[in-house]
């Protein structure tokens, strides 16, 4: 199970500190999903902390015009690409973008989803994110809104069998909660244990799939090097 | 009041929790208890919170690290764990509260999961972001003062603490 984190300078803790905390909390690794680049070397941090560090990124989608190009450029350097849209129509745009792995926090900041967006996400293989940050760290009306959003998203995802990921979206090592704690919180807000665990494992699957595709061995989907091929 | 007979007394489970905060946070036991009740009340509602009956029965905190034993009624450990996970700040100090383990007696919980508080090393020569800063080191972990923005959590590999 992996957790998707925002590290320094976007967050308050460095990649290494987040990786060490996540490893002690029981995660196999972290996906660093900063808005920009981090200076950390994933392999060195992974060897130091015992947690696999996956290079990811989050693209802010505020208009359709340049978004595809921005996503394409980020895709070249990142293993996992998440996109965060600022309106329901842009959520749909992201859900229809096959280059994006995860539609991040689709219900946050005035965002919304409907059956069209969820079906589009399923068709194009874009994971919808259940963002537990509002449940874990907000209070009052903000938290009620976050809970309402999670419930709506969960009902749609269950109905259309859409792919999803789960994250506590930690921006500091103090925000990291163990998988068991996320399962316990999920149980209180209507998720099953299996759903939360599957959502955390989906990051692992995404990272492994994309690393395979980025490796030199990969030729095209469904095509792989045969056992008779010889290097010149 | 006379004690209840043993077979009708409530059965408790004890959650051993570790508390982590920035080094300048001062968190009293009553603050932590209030934050825990607040989190449980908000997440579980009044009936759920009363059922779980979470209460801090042992507590220590120093220099941004702490340990506590939290009592919860048997059968509500998962709900208590969820409430503990939702404690994200105490008196506006961000905190991480993690459940290290659960035991049936306070003694077992203390012996198995609580290992005392260490004394951190305070340094003024932590090289971070091209600058020498104040920092607090604990093993490989370093909390660095980041000007007016508060603190940054780092590891020794992110900064030179020996004037390197």
Q: Which pair of structure tokens corresponds to residue B46?
A: 């009044």
* CA neighbours closer than 13 Å in the CB half-sphere of residue A37: 9
A108-115 contact pairs (CB < 8 A, 24+):
A108/A84, A108/A134, A108/A146, A108/A149, A110/A86, A111/A85, A111/A86, A111/A87, A112/A88, A112/A149, A113/A88, A113/A152, A113/A153, A113/A156, A114/A88, A114/A156, A115/A156, A115/A159, A115/A160
B127 touches chain A (CB under 8 A): no
B45 touches chain A (CB under 8 A): no
**In this structure, are B127 and B53 located in the same domain?**
no
| Structural domain contains residue B57 | yes
β-pairing verdict for B93-103 and B12-21:
antiparallel
The domain total for chain B is 2
Distance of CA A186 to the CA centre of its chain: 17
Confidence of residue A231 (pLDDT cuts 50, 70, 90): low
How close are the terminal C-alpha atoms of chain A, in Å? Answer: 40
**In this structure, are B154 and B98 located in the same domain?**
no
> Given a cut of 90, is residue B90 above it in pLDDT?
yes
Which are the contacts of A121, defined by CB distance < 8 A and separation ≥ 6?
A95, A103, A127, A128, A162, A163
What percent of chain A clears pLDDT 70, i.e. is strictly above it?
Answer: 97
**In this structure, are B90 and B130 located in the same domain?**
no
Predicted pLDDT of residue A76: 85
Confidence of residue B161 (pLDDT cuts 50, 70, 90): low
Question: How far apart, in whole angstroms, are the C-alpha atoms of residue B116 and residue B85?
Answer: 22
Mutate to test the interface with B, among A11, A14, A21, A24 (most CBs of B within 10 A): A14
Phi, psi at residue B143, to the nearest 5°? -100, 120
- List the single residue in B22, B88, B141 with the smallest CB-CB distance to A137: B88
Tell me if A14 and B152 make a contact (CB, 8 A cut-off): yes
Predicted pLDDT of residue B160: 64
| Structural domain contains residue B132 | yes
| Structural domain contains residue B73 | yes
**In this structure, are B44 and B76 located in the same domain?**
yes
- List the single residue in A25, A173, A184 with the smallest CB-CB distance to B82: A184
When comparing pLDDT for A57 and A219, which is higher? A57
Residue whose C-alpha is closest to residue A129's, from A183, A81, A167, A157:
A167
B91 touches chain A (CB under 8 A): no
A188 touches chain B (CB under 8 A): yes
Which are the contacts of B158, defined by CB distance < 8 A and separation ≥ 6?
A14, A16, A17, A40, B128, B142
pLDDT in tens, B46-57: 999 999 999 999
pLDDT in tens, A26-46: 999 999 999 887 777 888 888
Confidence of residue A229 (pLDDT cuts 50, 70, 90): low
- According to DSSP, the residues that pair with A33 across neighbouring strands are none
**In this structure, are B103 and B58 located in the same domain?**
yes
Predicted pLDDT of residue A221: 75
Predicted pLDDT of residue B5: 92
- According to DSSP, the residues that pair with B73 across neighbouring strands are B12
**In this structure, are B26 and B91 located in the same domain?**
yes
A92 touches chain B (CB under 8 A): no
Residue of A nearest to B145 (CA): A12
The domain total for chain A is 1
| Structural domain contains residue B86 | yes
Query: For residue A204, what are the domain limits?
Result: 2-214
CATH code of the domain in which B89 resides? 3.30.70.3250
pLDDT in tens, A92-120: 999 999 999 999 999 988 788 999 999 99
B 18-37 residues with CB < 8 A to A: 20-22
Tell me if B94 and A49 make a contact (CB, 8 A cut-off): no
Distance of CA A111 to the CA centre of its chain: 17
ipTM: 0.92
Residue whose C-alpha is closest to residue B161's, from B153, A173, B134, B152:
B134
**In this structure, are B45 and B16 located in the same domain?**
yes
What is the rounded average pLDDT of the residues A200-225? 84
Which letter does DSSP use for residue B147 in this model?
G
SS3 of residue B45 by DSSP: helix
Q: Are A149 and A108 in contact (CB under 8 A)?
A: yes
**In this structure, are B125 and B55 located in the same domain?**
no
pLDDT in tens, B17-50: 999 999 998 899 999 999 999 999 999 999 999 9
Query: For residue B139, what are the domain limits?
Result: 121-158
pLDDT in tens, A124-157: 999 999 999 999 999 889 999 999 999 999 999 9
The arrangement of strands across the sheet holding A29-32 comes to A2-5, A29-32, A52-61, A80-85, A102-103, A127-131, A164-167
């Amino acid at each position: 199970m992996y957790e998707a984190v925002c590290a320094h300078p976007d967050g308050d803790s460095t990649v290494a500190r987040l990786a060490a905390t996540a490893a002690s909390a029981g995660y196999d690794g972290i996906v660093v999903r900063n808005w920009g680049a981090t200076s950390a070397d994933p392999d060195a941090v992974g060897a130091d902390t015992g947690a696999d560090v996956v290079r990811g990124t989050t693209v802010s989608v505020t208009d359709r015009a340049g978004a595809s190009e921005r996503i394409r450029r980020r895709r070249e350097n990142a293993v996992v690409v998440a996109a965060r849209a600022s309106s329901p129509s842009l959520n749909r745009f992201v859900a229809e973008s096959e280059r994006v792995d995860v539609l991040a926090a689709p219900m946050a900041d005035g965002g919304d989803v409907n059956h069209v967006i969820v079906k589009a996400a399923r068709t194009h293989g874009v994971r919808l994110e259940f963002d537990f940050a509002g449940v874990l760290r907000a209070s009052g009306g903000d938290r009620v809104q976050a809970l309402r959003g999670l419930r709506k998203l969960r009902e749609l995802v269950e109905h259309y069998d859409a792919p999803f990921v789960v994250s506590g979206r930690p921006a500091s090592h103090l925000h990291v909660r163990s998988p068991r704690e996320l399962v316990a919180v999920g149980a209180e807000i209507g998720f099953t244990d299996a759903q939360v665990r599957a959502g955390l494992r989906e990051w692992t699957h995404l990272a492994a799939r994309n690393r395979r595709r980025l490796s030199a061995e990969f030729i095209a989907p469904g095509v792989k090097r045969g056992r008779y091929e010889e290097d010149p | 009041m006379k004690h209840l007979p043993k077979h009708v007394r409530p059965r408790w489970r004890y959650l051993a929790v570790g508390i982590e905060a920035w080094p300048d946070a001062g968190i009293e036991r009553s603050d932590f208890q209030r934050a825990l009740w607040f989190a449980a009340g908000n997440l579980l509602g009044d009936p759920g919170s009363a059922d779980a009956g979470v209460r801090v029965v042992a507590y220590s905190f120093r220099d941004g690290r702490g340990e506590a034993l939290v009592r919860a009624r048997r059968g509500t450990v998962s709900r208590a764990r969820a409430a503990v996970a939702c404690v994200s700040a105490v008196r506006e100090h961000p905190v991480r509260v993690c459940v290290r383990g659960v035991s049936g007696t306070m003694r077992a919980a203390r012996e198995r999961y609580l290992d005392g508080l260490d004394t951190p090393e305070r340094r003024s020569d932590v090289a971070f972001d091209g600058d020498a800063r104040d920092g607090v080191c604990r093993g490989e972990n370093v909390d660095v003062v980041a000007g007016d923005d508060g603190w940054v959590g780092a590891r020794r590999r992110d900064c030179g603490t020996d004037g390197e």
